[in-house]
Amino acid sequence: MALAVVPALSLLLLVTRPVWDVDVFWQLRLGEMILAHGGPILREPFAARHLGEPLPTVAWAGQALYAALREAGGWPLLRTFDALFWLGGFWAAGWAARRRGASALGLALGLAMGLIAALPQASVRPQSLAALGFGLLVALVFSRLRPAPKLAWGAILLVVWQNLHPSVAIAVVWLGALAAWGWLAFLRRRLAPPWVATGLALLAGLALFATPEGIGILSVSAANAAMSRAMGVSEWLPLWAPINRQVALPILAVAGVTAWLLRRSGRFALDELLPALALLVLTMASYRFVLFWAIALVPVVARAAVAQQPEARLPGWLRGAPLVLAALAGILLPVRFSPQLPLAEIAVLRASGAAGTIYAHFPWGGPLIDAGYPQWRLAYDGRYYRYTPEEWDAYGKASRGELSLAQVEAAWHPAAFLLDPQWNAPLIAALRADRAHWRELPGHGPLPGRAVAFVPAVPGAPRP
């Protein structure tokens, strides 16, 4: 009963959460272009100052898959499959734990604790595919396959994963920790050498470059990480950063309960525990890795929580019925979007007929791209690696009022503005003062005043 109810409740929880990630919108638009083109898009289509420049092809297959799902069944179908991908990583790791003797109740607790730790990061985005890839890798490593097919399937899985979402570096860390423990055990206890874990770790290192981006993925990832930290993006910062204090609480709680269970029961397997600890260290250094640590934690908690015991098995149809009902609910229920997303204001801006470069608060670039491409190009969007440090410095100066409205107009020739009252207050004040040239559109969002839009007072009139 526990293994029937916990996955179903988890799925129901995910499909009823609002969509809050802003980047998925531009990824969906790019995915549509990938489908129409028949392959990765190699030139920048969205950023006004970078049109035609080389475009990093990261997560191109995941973007195409998500676009195909939305085209097939709209946001409800996409949301449901995204939740299945996200939870599938946990379920695959749970299957591995079950095959290694975990009890049903222990496994249900492991799945629940992993969900508690990672839930704040759950939203519709291709990272869910990475969760599935990692869970399948855990299941493959702990499966009973012979070494040769295990290595062959592992190579396929790693390459597919890296093209769906460029996060196979997580596999390198997890497999590296597993192989390191195996070699230490071999040297100390004369156990069999961990050839499979070592081989898969090497294959994961090679799979990092098995995308159209090739070795360039390293520079793109490094630039994105450096700029994200410089911009104060919470998921790139350590758990002790002030902005992450709230999301750190469930992680610390789950880690504390797990430590208590391990000490109380004394049941653990080092090939499960040590790789999970390596991912916990990564999570402490950067919150974005919590999803993978939560998945790796499932076998650890399942083993430590409840010892093996006789179990009454439900009929197959009854075990699967709750999950099927939760999936149907995901497809039938309307999708909710976070009120922080200015979708209503973007619709009003679209109806105004504005065309050209939109100067917007950068996190909202994704929804603007999805709503207005190709009529709209963006001065800034949430792809931190796309823009130079000098461009981000100029954005900051404009937001602080260190650049005048005339300087912003001269630099961008904007067709419209979509600004945040907190980030862009000086620029909003300047636009409101220039009523001869700019007109403020009425706000229609669920949070009035959350976004402020401006269009030319006289459409088509030349600007000085």
Residues in CB range of 371: below 8 A, 6 or more apart: 25, 343, 346, 347, 350
What is the C-alpha to C-alpha distance for residues 123 and 21, in angstroms, rounded to an integer? Answer: 6
Q: What is the 3-state secondary structure (H, E, C) of 418-461?
A: EECCCCCHHHHHHHHHCCCCEEECCCCCCCCCCCEEEEECCCCC
Give the span between the Cα atoms of 102 and 97, in whole angstroms: 6
pLDDT band at 162 (very low <50, low <70, confident <90, very high): very high
pLDDT in tens, 73-107: 999 999 999 999 999 999 999 999 999 989 889 99
Phi, psi of 356 (to 5 degrees): 130, -145
Q: Is the pLDDT of residue 464 over 60?
A: no
User: What distance in Å separates the CA atoms of residue 394 and residue 202, rounded to the nearest whole number?
Assistant: 42
Predicted local distance difference test score (pLDDT) of residue 204: 97
Please report which confidence band the pLDDT of residue 230 belongs to, taking 50, 70 and 90 as the band edges. confident
* pLDDT tier at 306, thresholds 50, 70, 90: confident
CATH class, range 343-456: alpha beta
Nearest to 12 by CA among 249, 330, 316, 443: 330
Cβ 388 vs Cβ 49: under 8 Å: no
pLDDT tier, 233 (very low <50, low <70, confident <90, very high otherwise): confident
What's at 410, amino acid-wise?
A
Structure tokens at 339: 């009120």
- Lowest-pLDDT range of 8-22, 153-167, 330-344, 440-454: 440-454
Task: Tell me the pLDDT tens digit for each residue of 24-72.
Answer: 999 999 999 999 999 999 999 999 999 999 999 999 999 999 999 999 9
Closest CA to 220 of 209, 235, 230, 231: 209
Percent of the chain with pLDDT over 70: 96
CA–CA separation, 71 vs 35, rounded Å?
Answer: 11
Q: For the chain, give every domain's residue range.
A: 2-331, 343-456
Task: Give per-residue pLDDT as tens, 399-434.
Answer: 999 999 999 999 999 999 999 999 999 999 999 999
Q: Give me the sign of the Cα torsion angle 412, 413, 418, 424.
A: positive
